[in-house]
Structure formats: C-alpha cells, structure tokens
Structure 1
Amino acid sequence: MRRRITLLVAATTSIVLLAFLLPAAVLVSQVAESRAIDTAQAQLQVLIPSVGLDGRDEAAAAVAAASGGGRSVTARWTDGTWLGGTGVLGDAEPPAGPEVREAADGTRLVQPVRRDDGVAVVELFVPAAELRAGVTRTWLVLGGLGVVLLVLALVVADRLARSLTRPVTDLATTALRLGSGDLTARVTPDGPVEVREVGTALNRLAGRIGELLTAERESAADLAHRLRTPLTALRLDAEALPAAADRERLLDDVDALSRGVDEVISEARRTVREGLGAGCDAVAVLADRVRFWSVLAEEEQRDVGVQLAEGPLPVRVAAADLGAAVDALLGNVFAHTPEGTGFRVAVRPRDGGGAVVTVADRGPGMTDDAVGRGHSGGGSTGLGLDIARRTAEGSGGRLRLAASATGTDVTLELGPPAGQ
C-alpha cells in the first residue's frame, strides 16, 4: 500500500511537471530568439541613416564597425556592389520592405534603404548560437527544479503513506499475535477514522474471546471438580474391600483416575495455550511416555520396540500436549488390541524441521474414518485420534493413518518451532 501511494504521487507529480516544464521550455526558446532578433533590428535602425544619407565610404565604415560578436553586416550599394562581403540577396531585386529569412545556420534580416540615387540593401546575419543563447542553461535549471520538486513530492508521499500504513501494520501484527495465542495483544487505535474503528473492534473482539475462553475453562474445571466427590466415595468403597490383589489394583486405578481429573482441571485453567510460541523436545517427551507405558506393556506381555533419534528434535508443540497425544495413541493400542500384541514407537527428524512420530501395532487394524472426532469402533469416546490429529495440525503438520488386517500405523508429522 505504501509503495502504491508513492508510485501514484510520483506519476501525478510527473504529469504536472511535464505539463508545466514543456511549455516553459518552448517559451524560453522563443523568448531567446525574439530577444536576439529585436537586438539585431535595433542595430539595423542605427545603420539605416548612415546608409541612406552618408556617402559610400562613410557607409562602408559604418557597416564594418557594426560587424562582430558573431554577427555579420553587409550592404549592397545602389550600383549593385557589396560593402563588406556578398549578401544572400546577391544581384536580385531589392525587396519592397523588410524581410526575415531563416536558415539552418541562423537568421538574416534584409532591410531596403531608399537613397536619392536608388535603393541600397542592408543585411544583418544573426547566427543560430546567438538565437539560442542561454536556452540550454535555462533548460537545465528548469530540469533541476523539476527533479527537486519530484523528490520533495516523493518524500512527502512516503511520509503520508507511512502515516496511513503504520496503523494497518499494527493491526496486522496484533491480529497475528492473537492468532498465535497471545490474547493479551491489543492495538492502539490510530490513523484514519476507518482504521481506528477497525482497531477498536479488534480490541473488543480480543476481549470477548478472552472472556469466552475464561468461562469455558472455568466450566470445564468445575465439571472435572465435580468428579472428585464420586471418586472419593469410590476410593472409600475400595478401601473397605478385604485386603487382596484386586483391592490394591482397584486403589491404583482410582489414584490414576484422580490424577487424570487433576490434569484436566489444571489443563482447563491454563490461561492460554502456547500457540506458535510453544516448543518441546519430541525425543525427550516420547522417551518419557514410553517409560510410563512400558510397565503396563510388560504386565500384558507386549513386545515394545523403541526407535529414538539421536539428539533433541524441537517441535512446535507444548510438552503436555505432545504427551497427551502420544498417550492417546498408546492408549488406543492397549484398549483396542488383544493382550500380547506388540507395538513400536519411533521418532525421527522431519524434512524441513520438526519431527515424525510413529506408533505402530500388530493388531486387527481400524478404518480410515476412525480419525474423525467422536468416531470409534471399539466402544470408546473416539477422541484419541482426534486429539493426536489436532496436536499435529496445530504444530503445522498432519496425521497420517495406515491401517490393514495386520496392524495400524499412525504417524504424526510435527512442525518446527516458530522462527526455525
């Protein structure tokens, strides 16, 4: 926008300058020529009395004295002889009145002079250089003035365009910050009235989004908090059971469920999600989650294959979100495959930055539409794959599902952190 405004002003100024400078240049040329002709005619008027009244010798001396400075003066006497060189008239009849004869090398003024013994003719030659004296210098001055005016116009246009585009740029920056998850971003309304109205509306929108998210987080936290009462009752019932392995296992399950509820409350009360500013090491997160699930895999006699890339692989996902996505995928393996079914977990670098996480099992497989939210063929909520998909897409990547009768491969492509 700034560049377009500057170009528009440059084009308009150029047209105005051309409309002014071209006629001015033509006028300067005409004035210079007229000035030279007027000076030559005045010189002729000085010679006419001498040629018309004085004798031949006096007239020849006057003609010789008038020549010089680039001009040449000649005169044809009444007997046809030339004083000071042959003129352009030659032996032709003298004209009836004054004449101006133009040529490539200059202009000649022909003036007949009547004497008692006949008609004499005086010719005065004005060279082209004198006709254009000072024209080139004046044109250069006009051109320089035009350039100065054009530069000044461009400077003013650039400042004006900057004052118009700066508020729009601030609006775009604030919108990008809001899109990256910074709900505290606000714009200072500035610029034209329309731009100020947009800035005010954007601030109201950001405030409203923050209010809605706060209300949603509090509602989710309240719902999760309500689960603590029945969980407490369930724990008391489990503790009242006779001491046995089933009692201990039931208490462990209740504790795990309580921790899950606490995580839901903590997650719901996060101020904002990290958005584009999030980041973690995919290798470290995957190693941690594999260690967690390996205990249950050993109990169910499942073979676990782990392939971790060497060194850290930074990705644009918060560690908690990536851990939840991996837990969802591994939870699906344990929930929807028979005990003893092995699985493999791998992480490797992604072309262009980021990481590729793969969770593969040797179970019965699943349909391609299982990645849809709320869809499950195993009686579960159907949110596991959707959580993983949203995590991958939120990082700038995607989820790929390859299922067959011999197993399922779920691949998460995770984008690199912002700025890489």
Structure 2
Amino acid sequence: MKRLALRTGVRWKISIAIAAVGALIAMALSLVVHNAAQVSMLDNAREVQLERLLFAQRMYDSTHELKFGTKLNDPLLPNDLRKKVQEGRRATYVRDSGDGTPDVWAAVPLENGVLSLQSKFAERSATIMKDLDRALLIGSVCVVVGGCALGVLIGGQLSRRLRKAAAAAGKVAQGNTDVRVREAVGGVVRDETDELARAVDALTDALNERIEAERRVTADIAHELRTPVTGLLTAAELLPPGRPTELVRDRAQAMRTLVEDVLEVARLDSASERAELQEVALGEFVSRRVALLDPDVRIELVADSRVNTDPRRLERILGNLLANAAKHGGTPVEVTVEGRVVRVRDHGPGFPDALLRDGPSRFRTGASDRAGHGHGLGLTIAAGQARVLGARLTFRNAAPESPTPGPDETGGAIAVLWLPEHAPTATGSFPMITFPD
C-alpha cells in the first residue's frame, strides 16, 4: 500500500517551526508577565487597604466613630480572614466577587470585635491590567509574524541554495561533468549545503575518473585486438572453399565488427566527438538511405524539413535502428518522417522492460529470447550518436492491434529520433532544446 506523503518546501517548514516556537515563548512570557503584574498590583492594593484601615482605627479609637466605610463585626467578613484576626493578627484578603473585579478586605482586632474595610479592586488598576494584556497580545502577534518572516527569509535562502545544488547535480547526471555543484551554490555564508556540494563534487570526480579509466581500458583492449582480428580475417580469406571456411570467416567478421563497435562506444563515451554539420532535406535523405539499407522497409513522408546535421552520424543511427528492428523485431518495418522527427517501428515482441526503464545498455540484449543475438551495442551507439547531434532518441512499445491481446503481446517496438531545431556548435556545446512529450 502506497503511503501518503505531504510535500512542502524547506522555507515553510522553517517558518512554521520558528513561528510555533515564537508563539510558545510569547505565550509563556505573557502569562508570566500577566501573573506577576496582577500579583504585584494586588499586593499593593492590600497594603493600601491596610493603611486606610489602620488610619480609620486610630480615628475610631479617638472618636469611637466608624470612618471611610469601615464596619465593626461585619457579618460578610470572610471566614479565613476572621480566623486570622481572632488570633490577634492584622490581615488582608482578596476574594473574587464574580463580576471579574476582586474584593479587597482588610481587618484588625479590637477589644469589642473586629474592625474591617472592604472595597473593590481599583478601576485604574483593572484598566492597567487590560492595557497590559492588550500590549502582550499585540507583542505576541508581532513575534509570531516576525518569526514567520524570518523563517521565510532564512528558509528561502537555504531553499535556493538546495535548488541550485539539485539543478547542478542534474546537469552532472546528464553528462555535463564540467559543472561544479559548489560553484553553482555560491554564497558567502558556509553551511551544510556547502559540505553537501563538496561531497557531490568529490563523488563526481571519483566517478569520472573511474569511468575514464574503464573507457581507456576498453579502448586499449579493442585497439589491441584490432590488429590480430584483421590478421585472422585476412588469413581466413586464404582458406580453401568449404563450410568450415565460411564459419571461420563469419566468426572473424563478427569479431571484427564487435571490436569496431567497442571502439566507437569508447569514443562516444569520451565526449570528444564533434558533428560535421551539413544542411540536408531530412525526408529525401532518410528515404534514400533507408532504401539502400533495406529495400523492404516501408517509408512514409508526412512532412519534410531541412535540418543542419551530420549525415554520416544520422545514417549510422538509421542503420543501427533498422538492424535492430530486422534482428529482434518483426515485419513489416516502417519508417516515418514528420518534420524533424524520425520514427522506426517494427511489429515484433517490442522492447524489453529494462531497456524502456533504463535506456540502452552495452552488452545487454534484454529478453531471454534474444540471447545469443547481438551484444547490445547497436542501440547504445545510436543513442551516443544522437547525443553528438544534440538529438534525443526515445524508445517505447506500440499498443497491441488485437482487441484481446495476450499478457506478453505488444504492437511492436517504436524508436523515435527527435532532431533539434538548433544544431550543436563547433565546440560541441548544445543550446537549450525543448522536446515535446
């Protein structure tokens, strides 16, 4: 079962994290400040209430009159406050009145009872608390908004660096080994992105060295085999006629073809090949070359176009595609030219899944029914020559023509060569080319 994944950018993750942390900190600080201010103001109200009561007590002792709203033995006196006063102590008490404004009590013991004073928490103090809460709320919102903005700024910078690194790594994966991820990332501040870029560059260098070493070994082996194979083929021509001689000549020729193909693959892998451009009418060129290579192939010209390309390399691509269709596909083989697009289709079992998934690979022929037929170099060379031309070579299988196809039945293999609108330059660089899907 496929797991659902929520995809989001680094900048938004950092922004959300900073905003959440800022909100928690602002909330905690607001609660602490609110409680501390409320406790301080209530303590101050207790002290003021007690001072007023003591002054009223002195007035009562001298005049025996209750002043400033004091009461003697008030029945509404809270029990907790009454107990403390009965112990001979002066005390204050704060009680919630239910309307949001607490009552502040103060009481002192007398010989004939308890003298107490009750008043509401000062409206001015309540207003100050409301203003403080409003200021704390505004400050908290500003902290969250500022945290989001800071997160977007920091995350955006990190996201841009990562995107540049990914784009540079993608160019390296496409074969542009001159691209350096560290240079593409840029920037003055050094962070983990630079470490990642240096690691990718080091990996690229190591892979390039290994690939170059393998290419040189392959080219050296093929080059060393060319002389003895040529001698073997010459010697086979001197043998007397007969079936054994034909077998020797056939195998010697196959070995020579293999050596030449391996050398061509090595040259293509070195990325040193350059196209020799000429302007040709694509439809006429393909028709003449296909007719010479295989007269039985059907040719359909939908729309002609003039292109700047290398005729020798284009003929090599066509020859390999037709040879692959004749060897591994089924008749009829059809070639269609439509503008700058050339399609080669056969009606055989189709391309194997590995080739459709990973592209052509040397010395891999795909399905087991093709074992022993070829070395997997034909399509590899065709794809390499297409890269030199700045073109793209794609592979797919056609839909079955039967209304009830079998599990392994296909409508044949289709190879499509997309020639570019702009030809490669003399230095081998290529402009940006957009191919239709």
TM-score of Structure 1 vs Structure 2, range by shorter chain: 0.5 to 0.7
For residues 215 and 64 of structure 2, the distance between their equivalents in structure 1, rounded to whole angstroms, comes to: 121
Matched, 1:206 2:209: no
Q: Is this contact kept in 2: 1:305–1:343, CA < 8 A?
A: yes
The structure 2 residue matched to 1:24, chosen from 22, 27, 33, is 33
2:300 match: 307
Q: Is this contact kept in 2: 1:9–1:153, CA < 8 A?
A: yes
1:272 match: 271
The structure 2 residue matched to 1:327, chosen from 316, 319, 331, is 319
Distance 1:324 1:25, change over 3 A: farther
1:398 match: 395
Distance 1:205 1:151, change over 3 A: same
Amino acid at match of 2:136: L
Matched, 1:346 2:336: yes
For residues 131 and 155 of structure 1, the distance between their equivalents in structure 2, rounded to whole angstroms, comes to: 36
Q: For 1:76-101, what per-residue CA distance to the aligned partner results, in whole angstroms no more than 9, with x for missing partners?
A: 5x8x9xxxxxx8759xxx98576647
Q: Is this contact kept in 2: 1:100–1:110, CA < 8 A?
A: yes
Structure 2 unaligned blocks of 5 or more: 1-9, 234-255, 274-279, 356-363, 403-410, 421-432
For residues 296 and 356 of structure 1, the distance between their equivalents in structure 2, rounded to whole angstroms, comes to: 16
Q: Is this contact kept in 2: 1:398–1:412, CA < 8 A?
A: yes
1:179 Cα deviation from its structure 2 partner: 0.7
1:187 match: 181
Report the TM-score, using the length of structure 2 for normalisation: 0.54
1:28 Cα deviation from its structure 2 partner: 1.4
Amino acid at match of 2:299: V
Q: Is this contact kept in 2: 1:347–1:358, CA < 8 A?
A: no
For residues 144 and 150 of structure 2, the distance between their equivalents in structure 1, rounded to whole angstroms, comes to: 10
Distance 1:125 1:266, change over 3 A: closer
* Deviates most, 129-138 or 408-417: 408-417
What is the total number of aligned residue pairs between the two structures?
343
How well do the aligned residues superpose, as a CA RMSD in angstroms? 6.0
Q: Is this contact kept in 2: 1:332–1:384, CA < 8 A?
A: no
Amino acid at match of 2:413: V
Q: Is this contact kept in 2: 1:360–1:409, CA < 8 A?
A: yes
For residues 304 and 209 of structure 2, the distance between their equivalents in structure 1, rounded to whole angstroms, comes to: 41
Amino acid at match of 2:173: G
What is the percentage of aligned positions where both structures have the same residue? 17
Q: For 1:6-42, what per-residue CA distance to the aligned partner results, in whole angstroms no more than 9, with x for missing partners?
A: 4444444444444433222212122222222322332
**Bigger Cα Rg:** 1
| Counterpart secondary structure, 1:134 | helix
1:138 match: 132
- TM alignment of 1:145-184, pairs within 5 A: 145-151=139-145, 153=147, 168-184=162-178
Q: Is this contact kept in 1: 2:301–2:337, CA < 8 A?
A: yes
Amino acid at match of 2:177: L
1:359 match: 345
The structure 2 residue matched to 1:109, chosen from 105, 110, 120, is 105
For residues 58 and 176 of structure 2, the distance between their equivalents in structure 1, rounded to whole angstroms, comes to: 98
Amino acid at match of 2:271: V
Q: For 1:192-219, what per-residue CA distance to the aligned partner results, in whole angstroms no more than 9, with x for missing partners?
A: 6865554334334433444555666677
1:134 Cα deviation from its structure 2 partner: 0.9
1:178 Cα deviation from its structure 2 partner: 0.5
Distance 1:129 1:348, change over 3 A: farther
Amino acid at match of 2:105: L
The structure 2 residue matched to 1:411, chosen from 410, 414, 422, is 414
Distance 1:273 1:41, change over 3 A: farther
The structure 2 residue matched to 1:37, chosen from 43, 46, 53, is 46
Q: Is this contact kept in 2: 1:403–1:409, CA < 8 A?
A: no
- TM alignment of 1:17-96, pairs within 5 A: 17-54=26-63, 63=67, 73-75=68-70, 89=76
For residues 7 and 129 of structure 1, the distance between their equivalents in structure 2, rounded to whole angstroms, comes to: 40
Q: For 1:379-407, what per-residue CA distance to the aligned partner results, in whole angstroms no more than 9, with x for missing partners?
A: 97454764489689x95843438899xxx
1:52 Cα deviation from its structure 2 partner: 3.1
For residues 62 and 132 of structure 2, the distance between their equivalents in structure 1, rounded to whole angstroms, comes to: 42
Amino acid at match of 1:145: G
Distance 1:4 1:343, change over 3 A: closer
Distance 1:400 1:326, change over 3 A: farther
Amino acid at match of 2:169: A
For residues 114 and 327 of structure 1, the distance between their equivalents in structure 2, rounded to whole angstroms, comes to: 121
1:123 Cα deviation from its structure 2 partner: 3.5
For residues 333 and 119 of structure 1, the distance between their equivalents in structure 2, rounded to whole angstroms, comes to: 118
Matched, 1:290 2:290: no
For residues 298 and 13 of structure 2, the distance between their equivalents in structure 1, rounded to whole angstroms, comes to: 60
Amino acid at match of 2:138: G
